[in-house]
């Protein structure tokens, strides 16, 4: 197929295509938080309807079903915690709706990967978002230069409820409260989330066949990462570059010829290297010392209250933190601490086991199937961001990556069935 000619070929692909390429339109409408859950449940109901009524057969791997089981376990933890803490029926219903818009998406979108949706469509759509970013970038920068209002408006759609008004606001830029330096979050709720999306679109760009769109993807994704000024985004970006270099040249003897003296040199200078790494980590933390302090205090409070109050099932809901952490929700800024606080050990084990099983399922095909390598890169990125973000809250953004993971699992299941026959 001509790499310039990718276009949706069925209704499922069209939904996915327009949901991704329309990112900035949905941002202007303040509808970004709404689009992903709507698409997820529509496509899931379609899949179920076709399977039951039209007798269509879909290839669904055990790993995809395992994600469903683990996210249902999250729902069980939520219900048990609400009942144990006596939070009442109203909060249980509200939290269950939140689960349907958050954790449930981590199971639904991999299932949607079993539909007839080509990964190339998603890669191209991501590169188009990067193209739109490059076009709109001067407007965002000039808005800061001319001191225009940082937030233009909050969409009326915020009435449906969500984690906060920032999920429905149209923001041109923001100022770091500690340094006063401008940062940009574009279509995301905060700047580090933009760095996360920049890394996801970088992964997509590595698979784009068209040189023109690959340029858009690489340039736009790097701009997102730099504009976010996120330390985690930069670390993730460098690791992803190393990952794809290894995948591409793993069979080249030159890779191992270069690695051997490098490892020998590392062994001889190991102590000095460790010192440099420690200094780099210290510099990273002090680049935004206030943010690091708040994150650490949030983690301490979450762990202490989890261990002393609700070890197994958690507290059921997030709680506002004290003045010490600038009233930020306890467990925010970190998936694992948030899970332990809200859903206890059950929730943390559910997510960890789902991610581990997925990586094990994909590793067999990492060098023989490009989609599997991409899926592992996506899981690697998601895992890194569990230490700096709450996945549940941002699932509405990185869902295209979950569809790719599902497509890879479907492909590997088909290959296993073929081998068995």
SS (H, E, C) 201-236: HHHHHHHCCCHHHHHHHHHHHHHHHHHHCCHHHHHH
What is the mean predicted confidence (pLDDT) over 167-183? Answer: 84
Give the pLDDT confidence of 334-385 residue by residue, as tens digits: 788 889 888 989 999 999 999 999 999 999 999 889 999 999 999 999 999 9
What is the mean predicted confidence (pLDDT) over 121-143? Answer: 95
219 pLDDT band, cuts 50/70/90, is very high
- The span from the first CA to the last CA of the chain, in angstroms, equals 30
Helix, strand, coil % over all residues of the chain, rounded to 5: 75, 5, 25
Q: For 414-419, which contacts have Cβ atoms below 8 Å and span 24 or more sequence positions?
A: 414/59, 415/365, 415/369, 417/59
DSSP state of 210: -
Highest mean pLDDT among 145-149, 196-200, 328-332: 196-200
pLDDT at 46 over 60: yes
What is the mean predicted confidence (pLDDT) over 319-329? Answer: 70
Query: Which residues does 237 contact at the CB level (< 8 Å), separation at least 6?
Result: 198, 199, 202, 222, 225
The predicted structure's pLDDT at residue 32: 92
- Determine what percent of the chain is predicted with pLDDT higher than 70: 84
The predicted structure's pLDDT at residue 28: 93
The predicted structure's pLDDT at residue 40: 95
The predicted structure's pLDDT at residue 327: 66
What is the mean predicted confidence (pLDDT) over 13-33? Answer: 94
Mean pLDDT of the chain: 85
The predicted structure's pLDDT at residue 53: 82
The tokens for 98 are 């939140």
Query: Which residues does 200 contact at the CB level (< 8 Å), separation at least 6?
Result: 126, 378, 381, 398, 400, 401
1 pLDDT band, cuts 50/70/90, is very low
pLDDT at 2 over 50: no
What is the mean predicted confidence (pLDDT) over 68-90? Answer: 92
Instruction: List the beta bridge partners of residue 183.
Output: 174
What is the mean predicted confidence (pLDDT) over 136-147? Answer: 93
Question: In terms of pLDDT, which residue wins out, 354 or 289?
Answer: 354
Helix (H/G/I), strand (E/B), else coil: 105: helix
The tokens for 210 are 């068209």
Question: In terms of pLDDT, which residue wins out, 39 or 164?
Answer: 39
Closest alpha carbon to 145 in 113, 182, 93? 182
326 pLDDT band, cuts 50/70/90, is low
Report the sign of the C-alpha dihedral through residues 142, 144, 146, 150, in that order.
positive
The predicted structure's pLDDT at residue 39: 94
Query: Which residues does 96 contact at the CB level (< 8 Å), separation at least 6?
Result: 75, 78, 79
In the chain, what are the domain boundaries? 22-250+288-420
Closest alpha carbon to 315 in 278, 346, 280? 346
The predicted structure's pLDDT at residue 180: 75
Give the pLDDT confidence of 235-274 residue by residue, as tens digits: 999 999 999 988 887 666 655 555 556 555 545 555 554 4
The predicted structure's pLDDT at residue 223: 94
Give the range among 148-162, 285-299, 397-411 with minimum mean pLDDT: 285-299
């Amino acid at each position: 197929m001509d790499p310039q000619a990718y276009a949706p070929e069925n209704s499922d692909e069209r939904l996915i295509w327009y949901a991704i390429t329309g990112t900035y339109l949905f941002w202007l409408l303040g509808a970004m938080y709404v689009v992903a859950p709507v698409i997820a449940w529509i496509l899931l109901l379609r899949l179920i309807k076709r399977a039951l009524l039209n007798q269509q057969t879909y290839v669904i791997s055990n790993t995809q079903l395992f994600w469903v089981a683990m996210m249902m376990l999250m729902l069980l933890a939520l219900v048990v915690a609400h009942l144990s803490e006596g939070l009442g029926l109203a909060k249980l219903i509200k939290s269950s709706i939140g689960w349907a818009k958050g954790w449930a998406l981590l199971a639904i979108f991999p299932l949607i990967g079993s539909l007839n949706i080509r990964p190339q469509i998603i890669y191209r759509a991501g590169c188009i978002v990067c193209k739109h970013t490059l076009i709109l970038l001067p407007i965002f920068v000039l808005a800061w230069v001319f001191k225009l209002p940082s937030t233009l408006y909050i969409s009326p759609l915020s009435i449906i409820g969500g984690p906060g008004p920032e999920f429905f606001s149209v923001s041109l830029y923001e100022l770091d409260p500690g340094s006063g330096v401008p940062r940009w979050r574009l279509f995301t709720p905060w700047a580090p989330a933009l760095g996360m999306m920049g890394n996801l679109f970088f992964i997509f760009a590595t698979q784009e066949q068209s040189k023109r769109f690959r340029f858009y993807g690489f340039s736009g994704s790097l701009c997102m990462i730099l504009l976010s000024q996120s330390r985690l985004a930069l670390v993730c970006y460098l690791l992803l570059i190393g990952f794809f270099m290894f995948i591409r040249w793993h069979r080249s003897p030159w890779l191992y010829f270069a690695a051997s003296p490098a490892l020998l040199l590392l062994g001889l200078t190991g102590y000095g290297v460790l010192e440099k790494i420690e200094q780099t980590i210290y510099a990273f933390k002090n680049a935004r010392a206030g943010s690091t302090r708040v994150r650490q205090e949030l983690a301490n409070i979450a762990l202490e209250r989890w261990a002393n109050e609700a070890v197994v099932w958690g507290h059921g809901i997030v709680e506002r933190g004290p003045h010490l952490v600038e009233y930020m929700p306890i467990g925010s800024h970190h998936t694992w601490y948030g899970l332990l606080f809200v859903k206890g050990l059950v929730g943390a084990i559910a997510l960890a086991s789902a991610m581990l099983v997925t990586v094990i399922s994909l590793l067999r095909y990492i060098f023989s199937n490009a989609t599997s390598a991409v899926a592992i890169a996506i899981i690697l990125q998601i895992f890194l961001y569990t230490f700096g973000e709450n996945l549940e809250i941002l699932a509405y953004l990185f869902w295209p990556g979950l569809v790719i993971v599902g497509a890879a699992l479907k492909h590997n299941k088909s290959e296993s069935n073929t081998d068995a026959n």
